[in-house]
Amino acid sequence: MEEIQLTDEQLRAVTAPPSIVQVVAGPGTGKTRCVTARAIYLLSMSKHSRILVLSHTRKAVSEIAKRVSVAIPSNRVNVSYRRISDLSRVKVMTLHGFCMKTARILGVFNKNARLLKDKEKKEFLKKCLEIHPVFQEIDTIEDTIENCKNLLITPEEAYCLLPEDLAKIYEIYEREKEEENLFDFEDMLVSVYRKLSSNHKLADTLRQQFQHVIVDEAHDMNKAQYEIVRLIQNGSFFTVLDPNQRIYAFRAGGGPLHRFERDYPYSSRLPLTVNFRSTRKIVNSTNKFMGTNIKPREDAPEGKIEILIQTTWEKQAKEIARKIIEITKDYPNETVAVLVRTNLQAATIAPVLEDYGIKSNINVEKHTAAHKPPDTPKRLWEKALSVLKKLSSPPESKGNGKIRVTISTIHKAKGREWDHVVIPDVVDKLPCCKQEREEEEKRIFYVATTRPRKTLIISAAEECYGQDTNPSRYIEYFRS
């Protein structure tokens, strides 16, 4: 059993009366810690209450579930130990998992309906494009349809919002899918929302099931998810969020953020102001970069930030490998992560590290797939692939084979932390990467730079995947 230590401001959030509470706080300030402590606190308040904790990723869900199962609250929180031992009253689920389960309970799809898996979806969409050709990249069409559904926009409404061709293909996709008795991932959200919003009795039954709803990382909820949670919460609704870590806008995430205050005008908004994760230097630089004012914890060490600039991508990758060997020699039991924007970066850096005896656990996202990104010219793509081959040339020095690092996309790294973090390819325009809007790119970089506990290494090359590049302007904020 592990006691959860809480500061005064964390304690205030955890023990706020069960009503509508929004904890708005920066990275490393203990939001996830508060989610865990709040679940246990609510569990202890009544022997009948049931608590639903929702998060976005399976990793986050298993982490919260693990923490809830081994945690006891700080002795400053008055709880009944007998009550908190009944963990069956806390359900920790992903938002998608919850919607899937609810869809099944509500019987929103008929018995023979089949889920259209991601891989099949593209093939299915191609068939629809034979009925009505649209001269756009298939990925763009797929994203558009997905986003419409996440925003609860019907095909009829899409005609007022999108170019006619895109609205038409959305309409055809929906029609053909229904005819073939198929449904996709987003249908689960849309159908659950429609069923609950049109049948108040059903929504009421669900509301009786959980007396308290807690949502972690609420800044990445899309409209469909937000509306569903709104329909099933019963007046005790605790959310934690950081608007500066909103990195799923490209999938319509974060849209409902501004709705919260309007929908819940009497909610309590509680801040957390101290970062417990990172060194002073990291907290101060990320503050400067994002214009935030988060305090480092009192005993935070000064720490260091290193900037590496190399002439070529290959030299950069080798320098990163050497740095990792150096770090793990000094701190053999500490964790190291290389955080990237794209699957291609993960695929290209892993073999270089391996040549140096560094093994990688790769954690990439299907939405940043390593297939050719839509706006990459064929010539550039071939060059990028040839980089992969060239990297098999013998390196200068080998590691001892015992070093392990995590290579993760930044999207998969949210909510996580490591002792040492390397961010490669911090350039103004990364080739082979479909860049998001400036503000979103900034938030993505912010998420990456706020993951390390001790060392942050920011790296760039003047040539990436065969293309001339400039080190990003972002780097200036991290120089001493």
Ligand X SMILES: Nc1ncnc2c1ncn2[C@@H]1O[C@H](COP(=O)(O)OP(=O)(O)OP(=O)(O)O)[C@@H](O)[C@H]1O
Per CB under 6 A, 450 contacts ligand X: yes
Interacting stretch for ligand X, rule CB under 6 A, among 21-29, 149-157, 163-171, 398-406? 21-29
Per CB under 6 A, 30 contacts ligand X: yes
Per CB under 6 A, 296 contacts ligand X: no
| Helices and strands in the chain: count of H runs, count of E runs | 19, 20
Per CB under 6 A, 15 contacts ligand X: no
Based on CB atoms, which residue is closest to ligand X, 18 or 415?
A: 415
Based on CB atoms, which residue is closest to ligand X, 413 or 461?
A: 413
Per CB under 6 A, 7 contacts ligand X: yes
The rounded distance, in Å, linking the Cα atoms of 299 and 267 is 33
Q: Please write down the long-range contacts of 292-301, taking CB distance under 8 Å and 24 or more positions apart.
A: 292/26, 292/244, 294/26, 294/27, 294/28, 294/29, 300/275, 301/454
Least distance CB 466 / ligand X (angstroms): 35
Nearest residue to 285 (alpha-carbon basis) of 272, 298, 304, 300:
304
* Structure tokens belonging to residue 352: 């270089």
In the set 16, 18, 20, 31, which binds ligand X (CB under 6 A)?
A: 31
Which positions from 203 through 262 interact with ligand X, judged by CB under 6 A?
242, 245
Pairing type for strands 182-183 and 237-241 reads unpaired
Pair 3, 73: CB distance under 8 Å: yes
Least distance CB 445 / ligand X (angstroms): 14
Based on CB atoms, which residue is closest to ligand X, 27 or 395?
A: 27
Annotated binding site: 25-32
In the set 9, 14, 33, 51, which binds ligand X (CB under 6 A)?
A: 33
Least distance CB 29 / ligand X (angstroms): 4
Interacting stretch for ligand X, rule CB under 6 A, among 31-39, 189-197, 286-294, 458-466? 31-39
Based on CB atoms, which residue is closest to ligand X, 250 or 276?
A: 276
Report how far Cα 460 is from the mean position of its chain's Cα atoms.
Answer: 24
Pair 462, 471: CB distance under 8 Å: yes
Q: How many CA atoms lie within 13 A of 116 on its CB side?
A: 20
Residue 470, number of CB atoms within 10 A of its CB: 10
Based on CB atoms, which residue is closest to ligand X, 299 or 438?
A: 299
Per CB under 6 A, 10 contacts ligand X: yes
Least distance CB 242 / ligand X (angstroms): 5
In the set 276, 334, 388, 440, which binds ligand X (CB under 6 A)?
A: 276
Q: How many residues bind ligand X (CB under 6 A)?
A: 19
Pair 282, 449: CB distance under 8 Å: yes
Which residues, at least 6 apart from 262, have a Cβ–Cβ distance to it below 8 Å?
none
Pair 336, 405: CB distance under 8 Å: yes
Least distance CB 415 / ligand X (angstroms): 4
Based on CB atoms, which residue is closest to ligand X, 28 or 373?
A: 28
Per CB under 6 A, 74 contacts ligand X: no
Least distance CB 433 / ligand X (angstroms): 23
At what angle are helices 313-330 and 343-355 packed, to 10 degrees?
60
Per CB under 6 A, 5 contacts ligand X: yes
Nearest residue to 355 (alpha-carbon basis) of 406, 317, 311:
317
Q: b vs e for 420-451, b when ≥16 Cβ sit within 10 Å of the residue's Cβ? A: bbbbbbbbeebbbbbebeeebbebbbbbbbbb
Residue linked to tokens 């325009």: 429
Based on CB atoms, which residue is closest to ligand X, 410 or 430?
A: 410
Least distance CB 36 / ligand X (angstroms): 8
Q: Site map for ligand X, 400-419, x if CB under 6 A? A: ---------------x-x--
Per CB under 6 A, 29 contacts ligand X: yes
Pair 147, 255: CB distance under 8 Å: no
Per CB under 6 A, 360 contacts ligand X: no
Which positions from 309 through 328 interact with ligand X, judged by CB under 6 A?
none
Q: How many CA atoms lie within 13 A of 100 on its CB side?
A: 10
Per CB under 6 A, 149 contacts ligand X: no
Based on CB atoms, which residue is closest to ligand X, 30 or 395?
A: 30
Least distance CB 10 / ligand X (angstroms): 6
Least distance CB 33 / ligand X (angstroms): 4
Based on CB atoms, which residue is closest to ligand X, 228 or 300?
A: 300
Per CB under 6 A, 27 contacts ligand X: yes
CA-to-CA separations, 220 to 63, 95, 151, 286, 292, in angstroms, rounded: 18, 11, 13, 20, 19
Interacting stretch for ligand X, rule CB under 6 A, among 6-14, 153-161, 373-381, 433-441? 6-14
Residue 231, number of CB atoms within 10 A of its CB: 18
Q: Which residues of the chain form contacts with ligand X (CB under 6 A)?
A: 5-7, 10, 25, 27-33, 242, 245, 276-277, 415, 417, 450
